[in-house]
Amino acid sequence: MKVFCTQENFNKAIFNTERITGKQITLPILNNILIETEKGRLKFSATNLEIGVVSIIGVKIEKEGKITVPAKLISNFVNNLPHEGKILLEMKNQTLLLSTGNFKAQIKGLDPQDFPIIPKREDGFLFSIPAQNFKNAIMKILLCISINETRPELTGVNILFSDQKINLAATDSFRLAEEIITISDIADNYKKNLEKNNSIIIPSNTLSEVAKIITPETEKIQVSIEENQIFFLLDDVYVVSRLINGKYPEYKQIIPKTFATRAVFKKEDILRAVKIASAFTNTKAGEIAVKIDAESKKIIITAQSQETGENISQINADTTGPSQNITLNPRFVLDGINPINTSNIAFLVNNNTSPAAIKAVDEKTGKIIENHTYIVMPIKN
C-alpha cells in the first residue's frame, strides 16, 4: 500500500470507525480498524460483531493494499497532529508507516484475513430519513431505554412503519418517549415489506452511533432492512447492525387519546422547581407532588422527607380543565423536560392514576407539537 490523503479526511474516517472498537481481549482484531484500498478510494472498517461501520474517503493511490491497525493508537496519533497537510500511508510487512511533516509512526498491524466480514446490502434502499430530525429524535428518546436486560426488547428502540412516516419509541415501562418522522424516497417494495413486518427493534447503541456520525452537514440517511439487519448510509459512511429479536409492547394503547387538564408553563420555571424538589427527596426513587391549581393558575410542586425537611415551589401556568394532584418521580419528569427545546412546555393529566404527558409547545401558535410525546406513569399512593 502507498496512499496519500488529507489529514482532514483521514481524521474523519478514524473518528467514525474508532468508537465501536473496544478492549476485546478474546478477539484482539476487533480492536483494530481495517484499512484497504478499494476502487480508487480508501475504506476504513470497524465492527464489534453487533454493529459494523465503514467510512470511505478519497485518496491518491500509488499502490494497492490492506492492513488492520489498533484503533486507539492510530486515533491518538492522528488527533494530536497539527490539523493540516497530507498524510502518506505505506505498508511494510504487517506494519503501517504514517508520515506527515515532522511526524512519523510505525504501527504494528494484524492480518486483514482475520478481520470479520461486515455484511453488505443485497437490495436497494427502502426510504430516506431527514438526518437532523432523526438525530434530534434519537437524542430525545434514548433516555427512556431500559437498562434491565431481563426484557431485551426494551433495551432497543422500536420503529413502526406506516405509509409516509416512521414512529420511534423507547420505554423502560416507567415512562415512554415517541417521535414521529416523515420519510421520503420511498421505494416500490417499501409497502410490500411493511405488510410482511411493520415493526422492528434496533439496539440503542446502534442509534447512538448513527447520531454521532450525523454532522451538521448530513442531509439524509438512506435505510434498508434485510433479514435481521438494518443498513444506514450517511454520505460516505455506512452502518450495519443486527436487530433485536422479540415483540415490542403495544405501547400505543397506554398513551391516552385525550387529557382532562392541560397546563402550559415556562421550561426554565419547571426545571428549577423540580430540581429544587429533587434535593428534598431522600432516595433516588424519590417522589414529588405536583398540583395543577386551576383556580390560581399555578403549578405547586412539593417534596418532603423525614430526614431533610420539605419544600414548596409555585410556578405560573396557563391551565384548562379541572385541578389535579399527581405524584411523580422527579428524575423521570426531568428526563421528559430536558430534551425539549421550546421555551414553553405542556403538562397533560387525566387523574392521579393514569399516565401523564409532557409535550413541546410551538412558540408562535401556542399549540402543542404533536410529533413528540413523553409519557410518565404516576406513583400510586
Q: Which spans of this chain sit near a copy of itself (rule: CB under 8 A)?
A: 70, 72-73, 76-77, 80-82, 95, 102-108, 272-273, 275-276, 278-280, 307-315
Instruction: Specify the residue, 221 or 315, whose C-beta has the smaller distance to a copy of itself.
Output: 315
CB of 253 to a copy of itself, least distance (A): 37
* Distance in angstroms (rounded) separating the CA atoms of residues 291 and 133: 34
Which amino acid is it at 369? I
Instruction: Specify the residue, 103 or 251, whose C-beta has the smaller distance to a copy of itself.
Output: 103
> Over 52-110, what HEC string results?
EEEEEEECEEEECCEEEEEHHHHHHHHHHCCCCCEEEEEEECCEEEEEECCEEEEEECE
Instruction: Specify the residue, 162 or 308, whose C-beta has the smaller distance to a copy of itself.
Output: 308
Q: Which residues pair with 182 in a beta bridge?
A: 165
Instruction: Specify the residue, 79 or 148, whose C-beta has the smaller distance to a copy of itself.
Output: 79
User: Nearest 5°: phi and psi at 283?
Assistant: -135, 170
CB of 213 to a copy of itself, least distance (A): 24
Instruction: Specify the residue, 136 or 313, whose C-beta has the smaller distance to a copy of itself.
Output: 313
User: Nearest 5°: phi and psi at 120?
Assistant: -110, 150
CB of 153 to a copy of itself, least distance (A): 37
What are the helix (H) ranges across the chain?
A: 7-18, 71-80, 131-141, 190-196, 204-213, 267-280, 330-337
CB of 355 to a copy of itself, least distance (A): 27
CB of 277 to a copy of itself, least distance (A): 9
Nearest one of 54, 35, 20, 51 to 234, comparing CA atoms: 54
